Amino acid sequence: MAAADEAVRVCDGLDTTFTVVVRSLAAEALVHAGEPERGIRLTLSAAGGRKLPRLPGRRRARCWDLLACAEHRRGEPGATDGYAQLARNYVGRRPSPLRLGYAGRAEARAHGVRGNPNGSMETGAAAFAQFEARDAKLDAALTLLVVANACLDNRKPHDVPGHLNRAAELADACGCRGTAWSAELSTADLAEVRTVCPSSAGD
């Protein structure tokens, strides 16, 4: 968070494409550090609103995915779905493997908040495949966590342990302990789900 704040300070008063990108990356750090509201405000201010007109096209799908993540953490399902729709529509016109991955992950998150874990698993698997094919280990791990938590939120723990174990392996492979820690938290949630739904203990 301190590094994100410093990056924003350095960009203060500057108005170039590069500084817009720097601010969007700082916003990403804030969201993943537990400051979703600050991340949303910084992103929308820097990029010119929900459609991100000031952000380079190659970065928009990633940024909409981040905004969907932030709104989900704030408990705003409508906004989560709205950003997933923006990503999906944009990528439909300008597809690339990584953009498809980001849009698919945002859609997987939106399915989860709408109570559709099967849809989350389907779109999440497609997004995971795009990231894995590009050796984007961290994004692949984060995608598995999105799917796992969508299943947990909807009391569908089947296959969740496999998702979490694979996410932890990928996170460890790229040295991202924060993601591995998130996987551990989800494992604790899984134990809670099995307490509430004993019939799932053998899944």
Tell me what the mean pLDDT of segment 3-7 comes to. Answer: 90
Terminal Cα-to-Cα distance of the chain (whole angstroms): 39
* Interval 116-165: pLDDT, tens: 999 999 999 999 999 999 999 999 999 999 999 999 888 888 888 889 88
Q: Which residues contact 102 (CB under 8 A, 6 or more apart)?
A: 61, 62, 64, 65, 87, 91, 127, 139
pLDDT at 202: 40
Rounded CA separation 183/171 (Å): 9
Supply φ then ψ for residue 32, to 5 degrees.
-75, -15
Lowest-confidence pick of 62-71, 120-129, 177-186: 177-186
User: How deeply is 191 buried, as exposed, middle or buried, from its count of CB atoms within 10 A (0-12, 13-18, 19+)?
Assistant: exposed
| pLDDT over 90 percentage in the chain | 68
